[in-house]
Amino acid sequence: MVEAVYRSHGETVNGTSESEWNRVLDHLKGEVGETAFRSWLRPISVQQVDGGQAVIAAPTRFLRDRVTRLSIVVGTTAAPMPALPAADEADGARRSLAEPSAALDTPEDKAQLSGPLDPRFTFANFVVGKPNELAHAAARRVAEACADSVHAVPFNPLFLYGGVGLGKTHLMHAIAWHVRQRACERKVIYLSAEKFMYQFIRALRFKSTMDFKEQFRSVDLLMIDDVQFISGKDSTQEEFFHTFNALVDQNRQIVIAADKSPSDLEGLEERMRSRLGWGLVADLHPTTYELRLGILHSKAEQAGIRIPQKVMEFLAHKITSNVRELEGALNRIAAHTQLVGRDITLESAQEVLHDLLRSNMRRVTIDEIQRRVAEHYNLRLTEMASDRRARVVARPRQVAMYLAKQLTTASLPQIGQKFGKRDHTTVMHAVRKIEELMLTDAGLAEDVELLRRMLQS
């Protein structure tokens, strides 16, 4: 733990500031809940308060990165506390983690049109796999275009789409970082569609639409995130369309991200829709097991936490919804490891993550399980509920019960009910039996694994 030095303008922070900090903490506790508070916020301390800004210290770099991402804006202090730039204790250098995300307060504040960039969303931190290779390659191509001749635009627009948490924003930030690092003379603006609308509406109010137009039309690379939110708002859509066209006509690069493809975006004017699909449309597919495992390895390494391979595999199998949830799981495990002081095990992971695991369970029904199992063993579906005890029928039935226990949230009596009104002890026996057999009978274990995979995909 870095020793917190309570100083402000060279003086010891007075009681007011400390108690203010405590109020901030109280407020945050209410906001994020006791558990998250204990894992994430309690370990940090305030180091320095300077005007409206506080410097906080975190015990590890990992925790620091997590906490700064929260963009804490708290209304309990008279002057709002902005999200804090972090001092890196390793090299002592202070680097700004993100540009101020605060809304522009006057029309003169033009310089900060671009939204904040997450420092971790770089190409180096992006794990490439089958589901995202096209989107990644396209994003790289756009980012690297600045090294080529002036305004080399590979495709316009680049339209990235895919479900939530699959890496669209990450790729856009990576493009922006890359262009910045290369320090090429390109003006880059990244912002969300919501912010675009907000800016536009504000410009209308301040009667500065000319300025607004000019700012956008003088960029070399415009990236607008979450464009699905722009649909339906007529005047902003109109403005967006004009901006878009003006930029494309001047051969400036545009990158768009949305949760749906151009043709599936609702509430969008036809001409806009078709224009959006003119360039390259690259979708990010749901993650595969391999990609999830790769991402876990990469993130654990970055965070400097040790997680047994078994637990990694378990997570990659279970947390299938999106990468954000996968990261959430990893964070919790990291916090747990830190607090408890020993490596996580499969059992403790299950405990720590039980709510996440539950919500990630694909809703498999018992009916579906019975149908699949019957098909697999060439049985009639009715055998799942029949009284026949011959092994060729009884064993598959036990497999189905086992899977029902594993893959659904149904209780033993509920499962028994579905299998010809059997008693819950029969179900329990079946579950144990299959577990036992799987240890010794490789063929059966394979069958069960195959069925499980089919049902969960």
Which residues bind to Mg ion, rule: CB under 5 A?
Answer: 168-169
To which H or E segment does residue 52 belong? none
Which residue lies nearer to ligand ADP by CB, 170 or 422? 170
Q: Which residue has the tokens 């919790």?
A: 332
Name which position in 130, 242, 324, 354 contacts ligand ADP (CB under 6 A). Answer: 324
Q: Which is nearer to ligand ADP, 194 or 327 (CB)?
A: 327
Residue closest to Mg ion when measured from CB atoms: 169
From ligand ADP, Mg ion, none, interface partner of 112 (C-beta below 5 to 8 A by class): none
Residue 199 interface partner, choices ligand ADP, Mg ion, none, CB cut-off 5-8 Å depending on type: none
Amino acid identity at 33: G
CB of 113 to ligand ADP, least distance (A): 20
- What do you get for the CA distance between the two ends of the chain, in Å? 44
For residue 35, give both structure tokens: 């558990």
Q: Which is nearer to Mg ion, 178 or 372 (CB)?
A: 178
Quick one: how far is CA 181 from the chain centroid? 24
Number of residues this chain uses to bind ligand ADP (CB under 6 A): 17
**Type of residue found at 27:** H
Q: Please give the Cα distance from 99 to 173 (Å, whole number).
A: 12
Give the x/- contact pattern for ligand ADP in 115-154, rule: CB under 6 A.
------x---xxx----x----------------------
Please report whether residue 170 would count as binding ligand ADP according to CB under 6 A.
Answer: yes
Identify which of residues 27 and 297 has a Cβ nearer to ligand ADP in the complex: 297
Q: Distance between CA atoms of 294 and 360, rounded to whole angstroms?
A: 19
If the CB atoms of residues 227 and 374 are measured against ligand ADP, the closer one turns out to be: 227
Q: Which range in 17-25, 102-110, 166-174, 248-256 contacts ligand ADP by CB under 6 A?
A: 166-174
3-state secondary structure of 176: helix
- Binds ligand ADP (CB under 6 A): choice among 133, 144, 327, 441: 327
- Do 191 and 114 touch, CB atoms closer than 8 A? yes
- Does residue 82 contact residue 55 with C-beta atoms inside 8 Å? no
Residue 57 partner contact from ligand ADP, Mg ion, none using kind-dependent CB cut-offs of 5 to 8 Å: none
Taking CB within 5 to 8 Å according to partner kind, which of Mg ion, ligand ADP, none is near residue 164? ligand ADP
Q: Which partner, ligand ADP, Mg ion, none, binds residue 156 by CB below 5 to 8 Å per kind?
A: none
Residue 262 touches which member of ligand ADP, Mg ion, none, C-beta under 5-8 Å by kind: none
Specify whether the CB–CB gap between 65 and 90 falls below 8 A: no
Which positions from 397 to 416 touch ligand ADP by CB under 6 A, shown as an x/- string? --------------------
For residue 241, count CB atoms less than 10 angstroms from its CB and return exposed for 0-12, middle for 13-18, buried for 19 or more: middle
Rule CB under 6 A: which of 294-313 touch ligand ADP? 295
Interface residue with ligand ADP among 115, 116, 157, 165 (CB under 6 A) is 165
Tokens of 224: 């607008």
Q: Please, what is the angle between helix 193-205 and helix 234-249, to 10°?
A: 100
What's the angle, vertex CA 406, arms to CA 402 and CA 407, rounded to 5? 115
What residues form DSSP beta bridges with 160? 257, 282
Could you tell me the two tokens for 156? 């316009």
| Contact pick of 48, 169, 370, 408 for ligand ADP (by CB under 6 A) | 169
Q: CA 221, 225, 228, 234 torsion: positive or negative?
A: negative
Residues at the interface with ligand ADP (CB under 6 A): 121, 125-127, 132, 162, 164-170, 295, 323-324, 327
